[in-house]
């Protein structure tokens, strides 16, 4: 079909992606029911009591629906794309202003109050950041391998992170780190992600076990990967059992007489075995006799070891005392069920008590009487776990994963790079929120106070997540139209 | 590999991790299900009965009676007949209305909390309440025990119990608000033994926080473990008798069994009555304001100058030092004269040997003895001689806490060279400046407990066991502490002249010059020593210490009466009656008993009345 002919045709019926829309409606409704249950008391039994949180949340939901309809049928976000630098800058101003003008809530300065309604710029800046990032990266000639472009893109993400950290909303700032997935999808080398993940793993190993164990793990991982790269697999498969065996020989009770050997930890043995290998490897590499990829591997290993030694610094100097305490609590280094560990412990109890099918709507006992603080906001997942059980929780998790994967799928199909990149942004933001929040309530991750999208109580969150999602749905609608036009 | 596939795979792996954790928490791990119950269950505390205290003959000194605390859960309150309620408990209606109003106004803040509404309701009121409890929803009773004291004696040593205050709770995290704790006396020293262990009933709450029923028919309930009983070394009837003798007097009696260190009776007058103990919360203000300070346990806290009874200690130390022997004689012409002063003495024949000096309590003799100790060529200069002397005195338990199980015990006074350096200037004092120590005056202060302990040391010829109140402390640490012999470092033979002197003081024929004739009991060989200690506030204090019988002593006594004149006049007869009562069970000298009982020596005691 010729391009020009489409002008004369009546606009086609645009199609909203039903999968996304249904997931959205499900999450919003499910969230609202759970807020009702979490706050429920006999005194305020009506579900539309506007003095209570579920009543207010209802108002927010209605407003969000309105905004969603506007985004779907009235304003095209595509037309607004060129304005995204403007939105972005305006939001930066708000983010900075709130540090000085905002009201302190729970130790962070991230809220503006207009009357009794609070407004959290950090929630909305996710939208503007996503828009600007998509705008910049979709411009003609942009390439991540171009250093200037890469720095520009990184700055777009880092500036709001800096401001939000200054607001002491570290949790929200962490969400932005998820945008690295966008860079990955748009050309960033995979090993950067692997390196990032392994650095996190090093941090965890160092704190949870010991620095020595962490170094041994890093060394052995590097050696194993080296063998993989050089395809000397047989060698590897025989080497590993031998090494493990040698490491644990001193533990055998038969060697009573060699007490000094017994005193040595297996990790020390492993180190003794691995270090010479590593030195030989570096010598080979410097003599350019080694296989490809070794440089990166050695560099990563160096980074990992450096990480081990900087853990102490990060832990004592960079992290705030309460963050430190939360991490220590997570790894069971300190157990303080009455203090810092209280939330998570109560939360685990609530979720655990739900069992397979839960206690039923409004029948949770743990999420009432304030056993779990913040139960309608950051810890709303407890109510789900307790009242709807494993089944209800898995359904919720499945819907989230469906939503995220669906966005990635739709985005990747989009020819328009702005829409595609924006889709990746939305998916990674949702992913971070869901994983961090649910992981936190189940005691898998340290307590990081960020909301569960569409479920947690709060107007700012509900609005910003809705806008984030519906801009994408609209962009996707336009893709369908364009695809249809091309037929 | 396709990046989209990799990303999708990564997300699915993360999701599986989350799902696995969910599965673990909700399906596999039973721990959290039990815990969840803990939250929805209500633990009603069951309070243990405190251990009872019996005397050495098995009579109950401190027992228990059941009382009830009425608890209220304001959210469960419904309309009820307040007049009926008040009549049931015999309480004032205004107070009830005030509390109910408070609950109504603060119902949001209170939520599901429970409070104590009325404390220590006697069981007869409780049984009325139990019959009509259905009329008063929101109220329930929990049983507590309160102390009863069948013997009307010994209140000062039992001590009282009260609800733990905030300071105590902060130091002792195992206690909760509302728990009773021993504040003074035995109740405090043996708190760990007496308190017992709390138990609980587990009740199930429903989703509306209403208490439904007992959890699993009570199979998980824990019974309260009552506190352990204690046997006091006290002889209840002796204690009672001592308190009777001490009425209208100010001072103390301490009686110890020398061979074991067990305290047989310990009286501080005026002291607490058992009624005061039972109603300590009501009486506390009055007791604190009383000018005779009944809360102040003179027997273990008051540092009195021991007076002439201290001569026995100097006699023993001097013999051990080798500066005197039993036949050393010093002359006395109604006193001891030295450059710049005189220490007076009463008329008696002269010169005296050691045992006679004790018998007649010659001041000049001990001035000479003390000077000899200070000039002892083995320890010079005088500061060194003094330090050496002090060290020996402290072995007798003077100037140091004995370590009895009386929590309020004080150490008394014993001066150091520093004290005198301060008064006279370093190196500018000599034996005469501190001569009053020779006769137990001046800077030395001993508690009646310490004086009684000296009597026990003499009775034992050289050692004491730390005086204590409880015979059967369950822990080995305390058992070891209260069986260990503390030797005072004076050889056994040196005690003989002192004991002989003390024997003669009581038993020498009238006219021979014995100072303690009034302690004489025809069929018991009492050995005693009087003391008349100067008191800057009014008349002299009357002091007497003794032990009996002479062979194989069963009791050592110290009697200390404030402002009551010479030791022989009042303290000696009191001690003698105590000895007779303990050894014979009954006092035959009824006229002496009556004479002592009726004497009002309190009037001599100057008191400062508080405004």
Give the pLDDT score at A365: 66
Boundaries of domain holding B139? 67-147
Q: Cα(A386)–Cα(B26) distance, rounded to whole angstroms?
A: 9
Mutate: best of B1, B15, B37, B108, partner A, most A CBs <10 A: B15
Is B18's CB within 8 Å of A356's CB? no
What does chain A come to in residues? 487
Count up the domains in chain B and report the number: 3
Q: Is residue B27 part of a domain?
A: no
A212 by Cβ neighbours in 10 Å (0-12 / 13-18 / 19+) ranks as middle
Count contacts between A and B (CB, < 8 Å): 102
Mark whether B167 and B279 lie in a shared domain: no
CATH number of the domain that residue B411 is part of: 3.40.710.10
Token digits of residue B347? 């008329």
A170-187 per-position pLDDT tens digit: 888 899 999 999 999 988
Q: Is residue B165 part of a domain?
A: yes
Most confident of A242-251, A359-368, B96-105: B96-105
Mark whether A255 and A154 lie in a shared domain: no
End of a domain among B226, B251, B283? B226
Q: In Å, how far from its chain's centre is CA B303?
A: 15
Q: Say whether pLDDT at A114 is over 80.
A: no
Query: At CA B530, angle to CA B525 and CA B533, rounded to 5?
Result: 165
Mark whether A151 and A216 lie in a shared domain: no
Which residues lie across from B199 on neighbouring strands? B46
Mean pLDDT of all residues in A184-202: 85
Q: Cα(A126)–Cα(A94) distance, rounded to whole angstroms?
A: 13
Give the pLDDT score at A10: 44
Is A356's CB within 8 Å of B27's CB? yes
Give the pLDDT score at B349: 83
Give the residue carrying structure tokens 């499945």. Answer: A398
Name which of B195, B278, B265 is nearest B230 in CA terms. Answer: B195
CATH number of the domain that residue B217 is part of: 3.90.1310.10
Q: Say whether pLDDT at A250 is over 70.
A: no
Give the pLDDT score at A253: 56
Mark whether B120 and B242 lie in a shared domain: no
The enclosing H or E element of B63 equals strand B60-72
A18-36 per-position pLDDT tens digit: 999 999 999 999 999 988 8
pLDDT band at A247 (very low <50, low <70, confident <90, very high): low
Instruction: Give how far Cα B191 sits from Cα of A328, A438, B188, Å.
Output: 38, 49, 5
Q: Cα(A175)–Cα(A156) distance, rounded to whole angstroms?
A: 14
Does residue A363 or residue B140 have the better pLDDT?
A: B140
Mark whether A362 and A469 lie in a shared domain: yes
Is A442's CB within 8 Å of B21's CB? yes
Which chain A residues touch B if contact means CB-CB below 8 Å? 42, 181, 184-185, 190, 346, 348-356, 362-366, 368-369, 371, 385, 389-390, 393-394, 397, 401, 404-405, 408-409, 412, 431, 435, 438-439, 442, 444
End of a domain among A292, A319, A346? A319
Describe the strand order of the beta sheet including A108-114 as a list of residue ranges.
A103-105, A108-114, A117-119
Q: Is residue A203 part of a domain?
A: no
> Which residues in chain B touch residue A348, judged by CB atoms under 8 angstroms apart?
25, 32
Name which of B529, B533, B560 is nearest B439 in CA terms. Answer: B533
Q: Cα(A35)–Cα(A23) distance, rounded to whole angstroms?
A: 18
Ranges of residues in chain B with a pLDDT under 70 are 1, 31-42, 108-113, 204-213, 215-216, 608-611
Taking all residues of chain B, what is their mean pLDDT, rounded to a whole number? 86
The C-alpha of B39 sits at a distance from chain A's nearest C-alpha, in angstroms, of 7
Mark whether A314 and A335 lie in a shared domain: no
> Which residues in chain B touch residue A363, judged by CB atoms under 8 angstroms apart?
207
Boundaries of domain holding A153? 22-192+329-486
Q: Of the ranges A252-256, A380-384, B95-99, which one carries the lowest mean pLDDT score? A: A252-256
Q: Is residue B134 part of a domain?
A: yes
Token digits of residue A108? 């962070």
Instruction: Give how far Cα A168 sits from Cα of A105, A180, A319, A437, B419, Å.
Output: 10, 22, 11, 18, 62
Determine contact, residues B193/B228, Cβ cutoff 8 Å. Answer: yes
Q: Cα(A360)–Cα(A347) distance, rounded to whole angstroms?
A: 17
The C-alpha of A439 sits at a distance from chain B's nearest C-alpha, in angstroms, of 7
Pairing of strands B53-54, B230-231: parallel
Within 8 A by CB and 6+ apart from A199, the residues are: A303, A304, A307
Helix (H, G, I), strand (E, B) or coil at A415: coil
pLDDT band at A333 (very low <50, low <70, confident <90, very high): low
Helix (H, G, I), strand (E, B) or coil at A143: coil
> Which residues in chain A touch residue B73, judged by CB atoms under 8 angstroms apart?
none
Q: Which ipTM was obtained for this model?
A: 0.85
Which chain B residues touch A if contact means CB-CB below 8 Å? 3-4, 6-8, 11-12, 14-15, 17-19, 21-23, 25-27, 29, 31-33, 35-37, 39-40, 111-112, 205-209
Q: How many CA atoms lie within 13 A of B93 on its CB side?
A: 7
The C-alpha of B145 sits at a distance from chain A's nearest C-alpha, in angstroms, of 31
The C-alpha of A205 sits at a distance from chain B's nearest C-alpha, in angstroms, of 18
> Which residues in chain A touch residue B33, judged by CB atoms under 8 angstroms apart?
352-353, 355
Count up the domains in chain A and report the number: 2
Mark whether A246 and A368 lie in a shared domain: no
Q: Cα(B440)–Cα(A157) distance, rounded to whole angstroms?
A: 89
Within 8 A by CB and 6+ apart from A155, the residues are: none
Is B26's CB within 8 Å of A385's CB? yes
Q: Cα(A242)–Cα(A240) distance, rounded to whole angstroms?
A: 5
- For residue B18, give the nearest of A405, A409, A438 by CB distance: A438
> Which residues in chain B touch residue A369, judged by CB atoms under 8 angstroms apart?
39, 111-112, 209
Is B22's CB within 8 Å of A442's CB? yes
Determine contact, residues A474/A76, Cβ cutoff 8 Å. Answer: yes
DSSP type of residue A44: B
Give the pLDDT score at B47: 85
Phi–psi pair at B471, nearest 5 degrees: -80, -35
Mark whether A76 and A183 lie in a shared domain: yes
> Which residues in chain B touch residue A197, judged by CB atoms under 8 angstroms apart?
none
Name which of B205, B202, B232, B208 is nearest B220 in CA terms. Answer: B202
Is B7's CB within 8 Å of A408's CB? yes
End of a domain among B128, B147, B166? B147
Mark whether B221 and B116 lie in a shared domain: no
Q: How many CA atoms lie within 13 A of B517 on its CB side?
A: 9
Helix (H, G, I), strand (E, B) or coil at B122: strand
Mutate: best of A41, A349, A398, partner B, most B CBs <10 A: A349
Q: Say whether pLDDT at A107 is over 90.
A: no
Q: Cα(B77)–Cα(B139) distance, rounded to whole angstroms?
A: 8
pTM higher than 0.80, yes or no? no
Q: Is residue B16 part of a domain?
A: no
Give the pLDDT score at A5: 42
Is A352's CB within 8 Å of B207's CB? no
Token digits of residue A301? 């290993």
Within 8 A by CB and 6+ apart from A150, the residues are: A144
Give the pLDDT score at A468: 95
Is A444's CB within 8 Å of B17's CB? yes
Mark whether A300 and A394 lie in a shared domain: no
End of a domain among B197, B226, B255? B226
Q: Cα(A323)–Cα(B257) distance, rounded to whole angstroms?
A: 64
Taking all residues of chain A, what is their mean pLDDT, rounded to a whole number? 81
> Which residues in chain B touch residue A362, judged by CB atoms under 8 angstroms apart?
207
Token digits of residue B161? 């119990």
End of a domain among A319, A346, A367? A319
Mark whether A338 and A472 lie in a shared domain: yes
Does residue A209 or residue A356 have the better pLDDT?
A: A356
pLDDT band at A8 (very low <50, low <70, confident <90, very high): very low
């Amino acid at each position: 079909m010729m391009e020009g002919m489409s002008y004369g045709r009546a606009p086609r019926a645009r199609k909203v992606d039903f999968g996304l829309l249904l997931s959205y409606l499900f999450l919003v409704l499910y969230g609202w029911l759970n807020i009702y249950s979490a706050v429920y008391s006999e005194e305020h039994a009506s579900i539309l009591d506007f003095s209570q949180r579920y009543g207010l949340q209802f108002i927010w939901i209605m407003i969000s629906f309105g905004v969603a309809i506007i985004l779907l049928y009235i304003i095209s976000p595509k037309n607004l794309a060129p304005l995204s630098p403007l939105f972005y800058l305006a939001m930066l101003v708000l983010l900075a202003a709130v540090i000085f003008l905002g009201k302190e809530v729970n130790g962070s300065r991230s809220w503006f109050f207009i009357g009794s309604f609070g407004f959290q710029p950090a929630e909305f800046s996710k939208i503007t950041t996503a828009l600007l990032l998509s705008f910049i990266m979709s411009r003609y000639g942009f390439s991540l391998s171009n250093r200037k472009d890469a720095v520009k893109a990184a700055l777009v993400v880092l500036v709001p992170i800096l401001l939000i950290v200054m607001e002491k909303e570290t949790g929200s700032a962490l969400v932005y780190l998820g945008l690295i997935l966008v860079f990955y999808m748009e050309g960033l080398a995979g090993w950067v992600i692997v390196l990032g993940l392994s650095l996190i793993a090093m941090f965890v190993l160092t704190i949870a076990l010991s620095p020595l164990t962490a170094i041994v793990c890093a060394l052995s991982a590097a050696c194993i990967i080296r063998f993989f790269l050089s395809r000397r697999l047989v060698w590897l498969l025989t080497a590993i059992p031998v090494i493990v065996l040698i490491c644990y020989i001193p533990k055998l009770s038969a060697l009573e007489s060699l007490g000094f050997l017994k005193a040595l930890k297996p990790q020390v043995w492993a180190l003794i075995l691995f270090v010479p290998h590593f030195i030989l490897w570096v010598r080979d590499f410097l003599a350019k006799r080694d296989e490809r990829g070794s440089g990166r591997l050695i560099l990563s290993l160096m980074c990992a070891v450096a990480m081990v030694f900087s853990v102490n610094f990060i832990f004592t100097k960079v992290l705030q005392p309460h963050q430190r305490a939360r991490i220590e609590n997570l790894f069971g280094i300190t157990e303080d069920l009455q203090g810092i560990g209280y939330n998570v412990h109560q939360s685990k109890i609530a979720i655990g008590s739900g069992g397979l099918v839960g206690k039923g709507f409004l029948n949770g006992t743990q999420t009432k009487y304030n056993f779990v603080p913040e139960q309608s906001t950051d810890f709303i997942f407890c109510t789900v776990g307790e009242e709807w059980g494993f089944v209800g929780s898995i359904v919720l998790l499945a819907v989230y994963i469906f939503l995220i994967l669906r966005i990635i799928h739709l985005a990747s199909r989009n020819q328009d790079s702005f829409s595609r990149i924006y889709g990746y942004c939305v998916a990674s933001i949702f992913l971070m929120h869901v994983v961090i929040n649910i992981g936190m309530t189940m005691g898998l991750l340290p307590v990081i106070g960020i909301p569960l999208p569409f479920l947690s109580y709060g107007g700012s969150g509900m609005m910003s997540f809705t806008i984030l999602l519906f801009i994408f749905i609209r962009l996707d609608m336009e893709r369908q139209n364009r695809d249809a036009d091309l037929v | 590999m396709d990046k989209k596939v990799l990303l999708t795979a990564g997300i699915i792996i993360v999701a599986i991790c989350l799902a696995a954790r969910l599965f673990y928490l909700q399906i596999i791990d039973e721990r959290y299900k039990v815990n969840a119950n803990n939250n929805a269950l209500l633990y009603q505390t069951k309070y243990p009965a405190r251990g009872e205290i019996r005397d050495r003959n098995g009579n109950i000194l401190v027992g228990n009676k059941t009382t009830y605390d009425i608890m209220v859960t304001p959210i469960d309150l419904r309309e009820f007949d307040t007049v009926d309620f008040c009549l049931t408990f015999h309480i004032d209606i205004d107070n009830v209305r005030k509390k109910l109003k408070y609950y109504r106004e603060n119902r949001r803040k209170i939520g599901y909390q429970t409070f104590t509404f009325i404390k220590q309701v006697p069981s007869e009121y409780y049984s009325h309440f139990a019959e009509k409890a259905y009329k008063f929803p929101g109220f329930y009773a929990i049983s507590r025990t309160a102390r009863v004291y069948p013997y009307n004696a010994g209140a000062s040593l039992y001590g009282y119990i009260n609800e733990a205050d905030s300071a105590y709770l902060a130091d002792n995290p195992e206690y909760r608000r509302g728990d009773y704790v021993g504040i003074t006396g035995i109740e405090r020293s043996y708190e760990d033994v007496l308190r017992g262990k709390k138990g609980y009933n587990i009740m199930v709450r429903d989703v509306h926080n209403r208490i439904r029923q007992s959890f699993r028919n009570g199979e998980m309930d824990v019974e309260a473990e009552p506190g352990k009983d204690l046997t006091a070394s006290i002889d209840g009837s002796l204690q009672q008798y001592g308190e009777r003798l001490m009425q209208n007097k100010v001072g103390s009696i301490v009686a110890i069994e020398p061979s074991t260190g067990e305290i047989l009776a310990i009286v501080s007058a005026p002291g607490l009555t058992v009624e005061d103990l039972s109603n300590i919360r009501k009486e506390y203000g009055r007791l604190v304001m009383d000018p005779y300070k009944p809360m102040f346990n003179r027997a273990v806290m008051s540092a009195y100058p021991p007076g002439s009874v201290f001569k026995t200690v100097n006699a023993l130390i001097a013999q051990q030092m080798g500066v005197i022997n039993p036949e050393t004689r010093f002359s006395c012409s109604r006193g001891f004269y030295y450059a710049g002063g005189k220490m007076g003495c009463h008329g008696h024949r002269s010169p005296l040997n050691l045992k006679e000096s004790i018998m007649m309590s010659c001041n000049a003799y001990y001035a000479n003895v003390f000077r000899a100790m200070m000039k002892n060529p083995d320890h010079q200069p005088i500061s060194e001689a003094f330090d050496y002397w002090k060290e020996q005195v402290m072995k007798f338990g003077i100037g140091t806490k004995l370590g009895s199980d009386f929590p309020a015990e004080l150490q008394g006074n014993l001066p150091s060279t520093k004290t005198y350096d301060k008064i006279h200037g370093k190196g500018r004092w000599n034996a005469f400046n501190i001569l009053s120590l020779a006769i137990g005056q001046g800077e030395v202060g001993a508690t009646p407990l310490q004086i009684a302990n000296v009597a026990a040391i003499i009775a034992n010829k050289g050692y004491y066991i730390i005086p204590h109140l409880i015979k059967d402390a369950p822990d080995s640490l305390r058992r070891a502490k209260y069986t260990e012999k503390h030797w005072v470092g004076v050889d056994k033979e040196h005690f003989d002249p002192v004991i002989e002197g003390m024997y003669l003081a009581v038993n020498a024929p009238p006219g021979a010059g014995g100072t303690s004739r009034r302690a004489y009991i025809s069929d018991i060989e009492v050995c005693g020593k009087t003391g008349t200690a100067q008191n800057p506030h009014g008349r002299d204090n009357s002091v007497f210490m003794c032990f009996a019988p002479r062979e194989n002593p069963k009791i050592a006594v110290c009697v200390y009466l404030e402002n009551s004149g010479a030791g022989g006049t009042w303290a000696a007869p009191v001690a003698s009656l105590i000895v007779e009562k303990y050894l014979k069970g009954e006092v035959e000298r009824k006229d002496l008993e009556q004479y002592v009982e009726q004497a009002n020596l309190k009037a001599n005691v100057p008191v400062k009345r508080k405004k």
